[in-house]
Chain A
Amino acid sequence: MADSKYLVGVFDDGDELLHAVEDIRHQGVKIHEAYTPFAIHGLDKALGYSFPRMGVAAFLFGITGTCCALLLTFWTMGVDWPINVGGKNFFPFPTNIPIVFELTVLLAAFGMSFTFFFMEDLGPTSKPIIFDVRSTDDKFVLAIDLAKNKLSENEISKLLKESGASEVNVKEI
């Protein structure tokens, strides 16, 4: 049963796709997603994506790591089982910096990875939609959700052809 219907424009060249994205968006057509074999410089800006706020996630996970490490070392070294090391304080601050640093980096790295997997729906159970399998090889693919656009199928198809698509297919999912 076809829930939604997509128009799939296939391009031979990355630059053509980039210009097509700009032209088509200029006509007020909403683009579902672009699929390319490799990263194309400036495509994210052309698609109108805002800069990802991964840095915020990294900061929050990192600061969590810092706090956890401080708490861990403080509890184990300072409170629960104090050990006299070379006559120093039971909770000498500099000694704890390496573990604080390591846990900050660890939590920030893991947190960012899992945030990315979660947000992009990547993982063992996710089933990615492949609009055209050649987009993993040498073709540049543009998917447009017809339900979300006011223009008719023919008009969008014509737009895609005009902006350089070598073929336009229909994909129902």
Chain B
Amino acid sequence: MAAELHVELVAADRNVWSGEATLVVARTTSGDIGVMPGHQPLLGVLESGPVTIRTSDGNTVVVAVHGGFISFADNKLSLLAEIAELADEIDVQRAERALERAKAEADAAAERRADVRLRAVTGH
């Protein structure tokens, strides 16, 4: 049995996901970072992007995170996000529509949000 770390993914208004994982990959402002059990205590700023959690039972959870923080200490990883959506919760058609609308209105922030959502679902 591989070592595990405990993950708490919380958004500002709810607890999004929590459980055991073997690897968490997130995008910080200075690049992607992968955290495995026993990592050095870490506190970083997240970019908006998909966060990949490899759970201990071999599944992969993908979450679209829009800004926030990653903090790791004592084998406990906290992902704090202002907005976080599980890939399963994302409505692809709605995200696509939002992406098109954002492109049409040249709203860079909205376009980025929609893009992150779509990438979380498709996994690219």
A and B from one complex: no
